[in-house]
Every structure is written in C-alpha cells, then in structure tokens.
Amino acid sequence: MMESFSKPKPLKIDLGDYFFLFFFLLVSGNTTSAQNQQLEERMNILWLVTEDMGHYIPSFGDSTIATPNLSRLAEEGVAYPNFYSTSGVCAPSRAAIATGMYPSSFGANHMRTNSYTEVTGLPAYEAVPPTEAKMLSELLRAEGYYCTNNLKEDYQFKYPITAWDESSPYAHWRNRKEKQPFFAVFNFTNTHESGLFEPYGFRAIENRHYHSGDTSFHWEKGKMTEEETTIYLSKETEFSIPPYLPQTEVVQRDLWKMYNNIAEMDAQVGAILAQLEQDGLLENTIIFFYGDHGGPLPREKRLVYDSGLKTPLIIRFPKKLRAKQIDAQLLSFIDLAPSLLSLVDVKTPQYMHGKAFLGRYATQEKRKYIHAAADRFDGYTDAIRAVRDKQFKYIRNYRPEQGYYLPITYREKIPSMQELLRLKAKGELNGIQLQWFREQKPTEELFDCQNDPYELYNLAENPKYRAKLLELRTEMDRWLTQIDDDPTLSEKELITKLWKGEKQPQTQPPKVVVEEGMIQISCSTEGASIGYRLKNNKKTNSWAIYNQPFSLKEGEIIEVKAHRIGFLPSEVIYWRETDYK
C-alpha cells in the first residue's frame, strides 16, 4: 500500500487561481464566500471504468504487475481503499451507479432482468425506480454537460433518449460544442472474467471493440492468438494464490492471464489520458478510475465477500490537489451520483440513497456501513444480504437450505473453476476450498474482515462477538425497511409489484402545443423525461432534454419522445407548425 502523505501545503493564489481555490474548497467539502463567485469555467468529469477488478494493482498493495498509468493517477490523486459495490456482478452495480440507489430497492437486483427467461419462465422486465428518479447523466446534461458513454449500457433498464448526448463505441468528449463541459465514461473490458477463458487471447465477448477518438483497439474472436498478445509477465512467474483456490498450475495460469489483462487495460487508460493531455484538458478535468465490482476469479465475482465487492477507486483532481493521499473512509457505489452532482453544485435528490463525499454538499458525517445484495445470477437464484462496517461484515442468507455454489455455465468456462470442480470430484480440496461447496449455509454469518480478509471463519455463534452481531443485524433490518427490500419476495412477485399488475406500463405519448408563439411539450406519465430534436438535423443526432418552451423556424419538424425509466417508451411524435414564424 502506498504510504500516507500529509495534506498539501496551502496554495499561493493569484487572480488566475481563483477557480482552483474554489474547486479546492468544494473538494474539501468546506463552505466559504468564495463559493458564491460566478465562475464561467466548469470542471470536466472523466470516468475510466474497468470490469471485474479487485485490489490487484500497485496503488492498492499488489505490485505483481506494473500499471504505470494507474500508478500515475494515484501519485497525482487520492486512493480510496474502502470503496464497495452494491453487488458482486455488473448490471445491478451499474444500476446503483446510474441512479444513486440500492438496486434491491427498485427491482434491479437480479442479473439480468431481461435474460434467462427460458429458464425462469418469467417475462423480460426492467427495474422501475421512483417517479422522480433520473439517470445521473441526464441530471448532468440538465446542468449543461455534454455526456458520453463508451460503451456499456447495462443498467437493468433501457436508458431514456435524454440520458446521453452519445452512447456508442465512438462516443467522445471531442464531439461536444467548443468549451462545453463534459462528463465522459470509458469502459474497459479487458479485465472481465471472459478474459480468463481458453484459448487465451480469444475473448468470450465475440466482438470487442474499443474506440476513442484517434486511438482504437480491436479484438475479434478467432483472429487473435496467444502469440499475438503482448506478454507482460513471464509464464514462470510465481503468483500468490488466495487460499480458497487450489495451488495448481491451472490456477497459476489464470492469474498470469488476469495480471496481463490488467496491464492491457492500463495501456488503454494511458491512451485516454494522453488524449486528455493533447487536448489541454488534464488540469480542467476530475478523473475517476474504478472497477464495476470485485475480482474475476471463482469465489470472487457474484459473491458478497470483499473479494466480490471491493474495488479500487482513484480520483485525480486538477493541479494534483490532495496528491498521494489515501482516504480510508467507507464508500459505496451509491455515493458516486450524489458526489458528482455536488461537484457541479447540485444538492443530492431526496430519492437517492447515497451521500456526497465530495463537493459543496459533501456530508460531514462519514459513512458507517456499506450494504450489498446477491440474488439471481443467470439461471440460478439465491437471496443474500450483507452489511459491513470498517472491520466486520454480517451476512444474512435467506435460503440457508441451499448451498453457496451456483453451477453457472458462464463461470465454468474459467479453467480455475473447472479445476475446482475436478479436484472436488476427486476429493482433493482442503477444508477452506470446500467451504464454497457446502450443501447448506448458516442463516447468519459474521466475519472479522480485518483479521480474516478472505472471510473464512464465521463468528456468528461466538459469544465474544454477540454485541457486534446484534448491531449489524439491527442495521440490516433498518436498511431493508428503509429501502423497501423484501428478499423473500419471488422474482415473479417482484415483477408484479414493479408493474402494479401483469403488464409492463407504457409511457404516454407527449403532447405538443403552441402558446404565445412558443412550443410547449407535456406528458401525462408522471416522471417521464421528454426528449426532442430537429428531424433530419445533420449536425447532431442527440435528443435535447425538454425543460422549457422554445421556438421553431418556419417549416422545421421536430421529433418528440417521452420515456419514464422502467416503462416502455412512448411512440415518437413528429410535429410541424406550418404557419409558425
């Protein structure tokens, strides 16, 4: 782990530095009269998001593979070692990030809501957040930000047309209007568990394309051999294998792949940072790097152990403010949306569960607990909830009669998983490695994550920890009540609850009228976002967010569409006021 550094020395401020003083005060969460200054320039926000990422990089204590670009970000920024996903898998986690809400509070907890219907016998559905809920990107667009996503769109619901200016493999801040502030998300897939599949170099995602402005990386299934990949580590490297995996050559090879994949991802991060510097935007951009949940290995991904939830977070602030610091406060994925809004001077909406840890509205009360859930994964269902403080984790299993291990076909493509199953069949796994394959599990579990980081020794029945068990059990009950999460509800019952019936509700068509020469648009579906754009506008395909009346030139035609998250979108309305001047 990096050593802890003291706070930066006070900045010498001249007239050209007022903006950075203002920003420093926002980052620190302090209030001052400087915050009331009218500033023309606003900070850009860049998210660099990788997949299936545990603390496997030097900035978080693991120096197995060099990651010069991520290490640079940590050297020039702040490392957050206690950052947790709300789920050990991507789609529910992304739902939490996009909304600032716990996925199990609005039906986003099953992986995925639109898949494995042939197994579950259920219809494809979408999570339905509260009426007032909007995606973070739409809230930032409403503040004047140009918002792009490259490329993941896996939110457990179809994103409204108002969510992004562009979401595609080609989305980039370079497509924005001159001097417009941007929020740009780049997703890196190298570290995904499919990167461990054999033959190594072929990706399970059949056509993986990453494009960023002038720089592109392209892997196509069947066209990249192992010899064509860049070897960052020798195959003879001895890796430290966690105790829940067998100490075999097969597992060693998977670790070799995992670290090489991290090196590939780091190189792509470097390409984005190089573009940011080429554009002269480095010191006007807040850079976030994080993973979508914990690691890719068996007994990591999909579980509520720290190995499945804990992921690195690095934030680099302009002018290297707070450089080399380590901020050990507990943080959850649901805190990202409130924090970004706070950085652009917007209060946290009441429906959000998260707390801002940055910006003007940063909370003075640090988070005491993080919470997580595990439900259906592909065709197999469980019901687990977890709560963790700085040291202890409490897990409640709602299906104790069911074993922990779920025979998920996708995961069993990983050679390490195959190795576990092979050795289990031969009776060659030790007691620790067999824990995952228990035919039943306790209703309650309690782990001392500080002294038992792999969460192997259940303390729930130990009288010495009775007070901590009661504390976290009580917190679990409070949390479930607060977010209206009933883990005993079947997925079929959940769908009926979300739809308030047996059919997915649909957003009503928008209505367009002219009053006093101005176009006014409304929708009778409460909470619907309304988007519009000029038909056949060759300059942009983006849908503008309707928030106030506007004028049209004679003969212009607009397309209008409404969409409440979780509902079916409305039909597109084409409208023209032929005699409007």
The catalytic residue positions are: 90
Distance of alpha carbon 182 from alpha carbon 143, whole angstroms: 10
Task: Specify the 3-state DSSP secondary structure of 138.
Answer: helix
User: CA–CA separation, 413 vs 415, rounded Å?
Assistant: 6
| Cβ atoms of residues 438 and 401 within 8 Å | no
**DSSP structure string for 182-226:** EEEEEEE-TTSGGGGSSSTTS-SSSEEEEEETTEEEEEETTS--G
Q: Cα(155)–Cα(143) distance, rounded to whole angstroms?
A: 22
> 550 and 519 in contact (C-beta within 8 Å)?
yes
Are 46 and 280 spatial neighbours (Cβ–Cβ below 8 Å)?
Answer: no
The residues that bridge with 444 in the sheet, in sequence order, are 396
- Bridge partners (DSSP) listed for residue 47: 185, 288
In angstroms, the CA 89 to CA 87 distance is: 5
DSSP-assigned beta bridge partners for residue 395: 386, 445
> Which residues 6+ apart lie within 8 Å of 506 measured at CB?
567, 568, 569, 570
Query: CA 516 to CA 494: how far, in whole Å?
Result: 46
Tell me whether strands 558-563 and 544-545 are parallel, antiparallel or unpaired.
unpaired
Cβ atoms 338, 356 nearer than 8 A: yes
Mapped to the 3 state alphabet, what secondary structure does 513-572 carry?
Answer: EEECCEEEEECCCCCCEEEEEECCCCCCCCCEECCCCECCCCCCCEEEEEECCCCECCCC
Q: What is the Cα 446 distance to its own chain's centre?
A: 26
CA-closest candidate to residue 375, choices 101, 110, 117, 105: 110
Number of H helices, E strands in the chain: 12, 22
* Rama region for 515: left / alpha / beta (φ>0; ψ in -120 to 50; rest): beta
Distance CA 225, CA 352 (A): 46
Reference 575, options 524, 506, 509, 525; nearest CA is 509
| Under 8 Å between Cβ of 430 and 247 | no
DSSP 117: H
**Tokens 């920024």 belong to residue:** 77
Number of C-beta neighbours around residue 316 at 10 A:
23
| Rounded Cα distance, 399 and 376, in Å | 12
Q: How far apart are CA 557 and CA 412, in angstroms?
A: 53
